A and B are shown apart, each in its own frame.
Chain A
Amino acid sequence: MITAKKRGLIAFAVAASTLAFGQVNANEEVAALAADPANWAMPTGDYANTRYSKLDEINAGNVKDLKVAWTFSTGVLRGHEGGPLIIGDTMFVHTPFPNRVYSMDLTDEGRINWMYEPKQDPSVIPVMCCDTVNRGLSYADGKVFLYQADATLVALDESNGEVVWSVSNGDAGKGETGTSAPMVFKDKVFVGISGGEFGVQGHMTAYNLSDGSLAWRGYSTGPDDQTLMDPEKTTHLGEPVGVDSGTATWEGDQWKIGGGTTWGWFSYDPDLNLMYYGTGNPSTWNPVQRPGDNRWSMTIFARDVDTGMAKWVYQMTPHDEWDYDGINEMILADQEIGGETVKTLVHFDRNGFGYTLDRESGALLVAEKFDPAVNWATHVDMKTGRPQVVAEYSTHQNGEDVNSTNICPAALGSKDQQPAAYSPKSKLFYVPTNHVCMDYEPFEVEYTAGQPYVGATLSMFPAGRVDGSGTDHLGNFIAWDATTGTIKWSKKEAFSVWGGALATAGDIVFYGTLEGYLKAVSADTGEELYRFKTPSGIIGNVTTWEHDGKQFVGILSGLGGWAGIGFAAGLTGDTDGLGAVGAYKSLSSYTSLGGVLTVFSL
């Protein structure tokens, strides 16, 4: 059925002659499919996570004429993150729990070829911290890979939806769950683990495509044989990490329930044979209960795809005191810095700093705030890589049972999982951001397997209440120059921008908003060129493809996720006694729940 394969092979012939990317090492089929802009063959668009499309039929000049081509209800109400895969004539759409997979026929406006719904114990629902989201599917070798809420990874036959193999990647009874999109690099499929609020020991795991057998697993914390680190060869900013660095900065056995989960996006450089991802918060949220740097939580990992050995790491937020997970995407781009072309990795962290690193050596090149409101640290020391924490906002220094106030950003970060895009044409990064601050009070908690292990209470409010501007918007959509660490332009959004961006060769950038708008803006100026209000709030990622010579743009609506928790009833400030002071903006007055795919064309 998948005429895509033919299409992919044709594309591969073209791709192989024109692209250095995707050489013999890489999984040729997937690399070829992704190189053809008619497809959207992996959740991130490409290995480099740029979310850039070469399609330009829809462009800055005509995007105002964009119209809805067709729509599709997923039949599921919860938060819809991620986006569909498009391969030739077939589209694959996923949903949050119960994790349905639809195969749809693009020659017939999305008529359903088959639907798969796994049987899962509903008790997994409440052990997912922030709604039962799922960030997408992967495809390779005639199989569609679904990573279920209960941490089961299944390979489905793309032609009929039958299970080819199935493997358990975690125990939901201990709070280990699946939300991230699997990624296929070479002959393996990679999955992370969620559960940082349940004291999970985070890990990255590779399974062999052919039969689902375990290839390797690298933990975020633990002794060297668990973290897959070489004390001499694995480096942190050029220095060897030393023996058992994954336990050395923890007290006692806390590392075993130390978090460092891996629920974000993964990228891959075929030339360097390295995969990149970030790790999440150390458990618990009460920093007083886990003295030390808590390595390697909050860390960018570069691992060998074949063996899992860590080549280099960089810990962005040692000893986290604010829940600034480091899991956001690592975008790989070759950029001019100081007159030289550098193989860079660009990462917009929850902690509010935009990092540019040399992705070969792990050297830190740029670390600047991508939201001026960020106040928990003055700057990052470029020699040690350590953020210079402001004592007033240190929830550890202020101590247990003390409410530290007006910390920016809030725990949901200056940016969360919503992925940014990079245009090699404009050389700019387009970043959906949050503009929210918080009060944070840590307190003692006890660990019980499978029960929440949080240990802090916090409240969130618009950053304008802290920076003195008095503004009440909760998000910005920005363009960023990662070679210098500067904001080129910034567009205010009423709510946090929780949907992923798409940049195209048509000099436009798309993104979705929590009220439900799909927006297209000029890549150069940020000027709004188009908006359409979809049936529900958007926390999904925009995708584009071509079918029968026509360009389409697709977006999943479906309010939920962490945004759906914090915002369902509006964000309020702290109060003087009774009654809310400051902004009270209810998202429920703009939109309601419901998973719908909306497809646009000219």
Chain B
Amino acid sequence: MWCAFFLCHRSVYVCMNSILLTFLKQKTILMKMPLLFTLPLCLGLTFSSQLFSGEEEIPQYVSENGMVDKGTYNGYRRFHGTCHACHGQDAAGSSFAPSLVDALKDMDYAAFTKTVTEGRQATSASGAVSAMPAFAADPNVMKHLDDIYRYLSARSDGVVGTGRPKKIPKKK
């Protein structure tokens, strides 16, 4: 996960540099834009570049000393606001829906988003029908889909245990 952390930092760094360079070239007053301004701008650009890039960026969790990033933490909350009703506390599964700690080991991000968005139905050998609803119309899930994925992949990788994870404190 350090690599993800590093990648993010790296892209922000590259972005900030490129903005500063652009400003320098154009010799506008903006070249004096304080670092403080460019940082959030770059974070925004990095985020949107992920949205608009042709290939899908896979959301990554960040873990430091057993603590997790804000997104993963939010994923924990949102998972336990909706998904846990079937998939159980800590995504450990229930008497009628599978453990996602196990499922995420074999399911990639694309398959995850497809399943959550479109839902799916299955009939077991015993004839029992199980059904996962389509959440495409549910903003409480769709707006937080990547965070839920972050949380579940962290659970699946054994990086986040049971219960509420701790958030990495804000850096000063």
Contacts and interface: CB of A to CB of B under 8 A. Distances in A.
Nearest to B99: A569
A310 to B, nearest CB: 31
Nearest to B76: A457
Interface stretch (A76-84, A150-158, A418-426): A76-84
A568 B92 contact: yes
Interface stretch (A24-32, A123-131, A269-277, A466-474): A123-131
B40 interface: no
B80 A459 contact: yes
A404 to B, nearest CB: 12
B160 interface: yes
Contacts of B80: 457-459
Contacts of B77: 441, 443, 457
B140 A130 contact: no
B139 A446 contact: yes
A580 B92 CA distance: 13
Interface in A94-125: 97-98, 122-123, 125
Contacts of B94: 131, 564-565, 568-569
A439 interface: yes
Contacts of A354: none
Nearest to B121: A122
Given A132-B96, A566-B89, A459 B81 contact: no
Contacts of B67: 577
A565 B95 contact: yes
Contacts of A132: 96
A460 B90 CA distance: 11
B109 interface: no
Interface residues of B, number: 46
B128 A566 contact: no
B162 A577 contact: no
B54 interface: no
Contacts of A453: 140
Size class of the contact patch on chain A: 35 or more
B81 A443 contact: yes
Given A126-B131, A578-B161, A579-B161, A78 B140 contact: no
B56 interface: no
Contacts of A123: 131, 133
**Interface-centre pick from A123, A452, A559 (highest chain B CB count, 10 A):** A452
A575 B81 contact: no
A200 B129 CA distance: 25
A508 interface: no
A593 B159 CA distance: 30
Contacts of B128: 76-78
Nearest to A123: B131
B93 A452 contact: no
Contacts of A97: 129
Contacts of A403: 164
Given A125-B129, A446-B139, A580 B161 contact: yes
Interface in A536-578: 559-560, 564-566, 568-575, 577-578
A456 interface: yes
Contacts of B59: none
B17 interface: no
Nearest to A565: B94
Interface string B75-89: 011111110111011
Given A446-B140, A559-B95, A579-B161, 4 more contacts: A572-B90, A574-B164, A578-B66, A580-B161
29 contacts: A76-B128, A78-B95, A79-B96, A97-B129, A122-B131, A126-B133, A127-B133, A129-B85, A131-B94, A441-B77, A450-B137, A451-B137, A451-B141, A452-B82, A452-B85, A454-B85, A456-B81, A457-B76, A460-B89, A560-B95, A565-B85, A568-B92, A568-B93, A569-B92, A574-B164, A575-B164, A577-B65, A577-B166, A579-B162
Which 10 residue pairs across A and B have the least CB separation, nearest first?
A: A569-B92, A577-B66, A564-B95, A457-B80, A575-B163, A451-B138, A126-B133, A125-B131, A578-B161, A572-B162
